[in-house]
């Protein structure tokens, strides 16, 4: 058994989640290896993240985790522990969330924010024009597709108000963020192997013993962590079949549009991240004077879940529907003749809440179902998973007595049962990218 083929923990995946987990484990003294079939850190689904930083989720634990993560992005150099060469910018422009029928006028969201202690400001309907210059502030809900005869019709009533969260914004380059975390991993003693694929995960007497990769061959390790993004479902199959009472994940094809930023007399129409459940979309400023538009999975949109990682990369009429719904809100928005943006796969759980947990086999752990809404949480997910792995490896029975994780900046404890593979489907979830 050669020294080079033996590690304390192997993380499958080198996206933002996998790298953050490796960083925490390496700082705990473990000899780590990230294996990824891509060419470099963050070149998988992470590179297609909208990279929005926001504190509002549909659950208390999800909100507490996201609010805490904001401080890691705000103090990025402290989190990394070194000064990287490339400049990563956290555009802390804040998040504006419109009241809508689909979010019950934000009553539940505001209650959770108050419980967690997240700062926010209520925006009155009469003040919204100052926040969204040039916007049509009519109610268009329910969100419709453009082939619906009622598309664009309003109720005749204006948006009733909004909530502004100052602790939010977006990261200018999710791939760069991941590369910088990977740099911290290497400084802490961790290793990476790229252009490699996991073929088998080995176990003996109910415990992980290692894995075999296409290029690297046999690797010995008592701990394997599945952070494989959209491929996580098939990685789990290498360990054993999922039990029917456990939360499942699968890839979901998503499209994100990029269009020129609409302009008003006072300047850009959007200066903040905007969650617009009334139109069924989210938007944020993009670099070079553009606007990024994604879907909130309203009832009118057909979700394209896949049984493989093969998917259509060309933009479709879903792009058109998202852009036209944005044009309802911003009539000055110019719709390009050629669709720009991207189509990508997200790794989504049944209730859009991730699974941060141990597995049924000793030494196997999962950080899955994370795509779409967990990029922002990656620094804290790394610490959360490190705490979980360390505790379970040292004898904690997380299934019978779920662990708590104390958030370092706010001091609040979150219940890791909220992210268990054994949890019932959380009916409080938004069942959308909002989590």
By C-alpha distance, which of 298, 292, 346, 299 is closest to 319?
A: 292
Q: Where are the alpha helices (DSSP H) in 226-375?
A: 232-239, 317-329
d(CA 333, CA 104): 28
Q: Is 306 exposed, middle or buried (0-12, 13-18, 19+ CB in 10 A)?
A: middle
Strand-pair category, 404-406 with 413-415: antiparallel
- 40-65 per-position pLDDT tens digit: 999 999 999 999 999 999 999 999 99
User: Which tokens hold the place of 190?
Assistant: 């961790």
Point out which residues pair with 210 in neighbouring strands: 202, 220
Per-residue pLDDT of the chain (435 residues; tens, 9 = 90+): 344 699 999 999 999 999 999 999 999 999 999 999 999 999 999 999 999 999 999 999 999 999 999 999 999 999 999 999 988 999 999 999 999 999 999 999 999 999 999 999 999 999 999 999 999 999 999 999 999 999 999 999 999 999 999 999 999 999 999 999 999 999 999 999 999 999 999 999 999 999 999 999 999 999 999 999 999 999 999 999 989 999 999 999 999 999 999 999 999 999 999 999 999 999 999 988 999 999 999 999 999 999 999 999 999 999 999 999 999 999 999 999 999 999 999 999 999 999 999 999 999 999 999 988 999 999 999 999 999 999 999 999 999 999 999 999 999 999 999 999 999 999 999 999 999
In sequence order, which residues have a C-beta less than 8 Å from that of residue 143 and are 6 or more positions away?
102, 278, 279, 280, 281, 296, 298, 299, 300, 301, 325
DSSP assignment of 377-430 equals GHHHHHHHHHHHHHHHHTT--TTTS--EEE-TTT--EEEGGGG-TTSPP-TTS-
Domains and CATH numbers, the chain: 3-86+173-248+351-419 (3.50.50.60), 91-169+250-349 (3.30.9.10)
Q: What pTM was computed for the model? A: 0.97
d(CA 26, CA 9): 9
User: Which tokens hold the place of 179?
Assistant: 């590369």
């Amino acid at each position: 058994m050669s020294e080079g083929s033996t590690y304390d923990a192997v993380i499958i995946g080198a996206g933002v989640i996998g790298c953050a987990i490796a960083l925490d484990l390496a700082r705990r003294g473990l000899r780590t290896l990230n294996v990824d079939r891509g060419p470099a850190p963050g070149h998988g689904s992470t590179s297609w993240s909208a990279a929005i930083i926001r504190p509002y989720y549909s659950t208390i634990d999800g909100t507490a985790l996201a609010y805490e993560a904001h401080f890691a992005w705000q103090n990025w150099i402290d989190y990394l522990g070194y000064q990287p060469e490339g400049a990563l910018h956290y555009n802390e422009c804040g998040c504006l969330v419109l009241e809508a029928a689909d979010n019950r006028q934000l009553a539940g969201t505001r209650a959770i924010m108050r419980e967690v202690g997240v700062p926010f400001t209520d925006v009155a309907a009469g003040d919204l024009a100052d926040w969204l210059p040039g916007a049509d502030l009519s109610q268009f809900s329910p969100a419709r597709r453009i082939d619906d005869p009622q598309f664009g019709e309003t109720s005749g009533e204006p948006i009733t108000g909004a909530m502004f969260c100052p602790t939010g914004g977006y990261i200018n380059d999710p791939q760069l963020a991941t590369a910088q975390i990977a740099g911290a991993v290497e400084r802490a003693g961790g290793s990476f192997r790229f252009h490699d694929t996991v073929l088998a995960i080995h176990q003996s007497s109910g415990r992980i013993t290692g894995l075999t990769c296409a290029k690297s061959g046999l690797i010995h390790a008592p701990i394997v962590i599945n952070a494989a993004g959209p491929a996580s479902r098939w990685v789990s199959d290498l360990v054993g079949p999922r039990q029917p009472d456990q939360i499942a994940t699968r890839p979901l094809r998503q499209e994100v549009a990029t269009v020129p930023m609409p302009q008003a007399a006072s300047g850009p129409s959007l200066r903040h991240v905007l969650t617009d459940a009334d139109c069924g979309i989210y938007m944020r400023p993009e670099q070079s004077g553009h606007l990024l538009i994604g879907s909130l999975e309203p009832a009118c949109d057909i979700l394209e879940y896949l049984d493989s990682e093969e998917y259509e990369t060309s933009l479709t009429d879903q792009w058109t529907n998202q852009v036209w719904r944005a044009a309802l809100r911003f009539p000055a928005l110019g719709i390009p003749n050629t669709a720009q943006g991207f189509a990508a796969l997200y790794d989504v759980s049944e209730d859009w809440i991730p699974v941060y947990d141990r597995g049924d086999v000793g030494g196997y752990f999962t950080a899955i179902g994370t795509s779409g809404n967990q990029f922002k949480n990656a620094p804290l997910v790394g610490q959360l998973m490190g705490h979980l792995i360390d505790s379970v490896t040292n004898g904690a029975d997380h299934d019978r007595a779920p662990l708590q994780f104390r958030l370092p900046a706010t001091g609040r404890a979150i219940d890791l049962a909220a992210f268990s593979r054994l949890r019932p489907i959380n009916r409080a979830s938004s069942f959308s990218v909002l989590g």
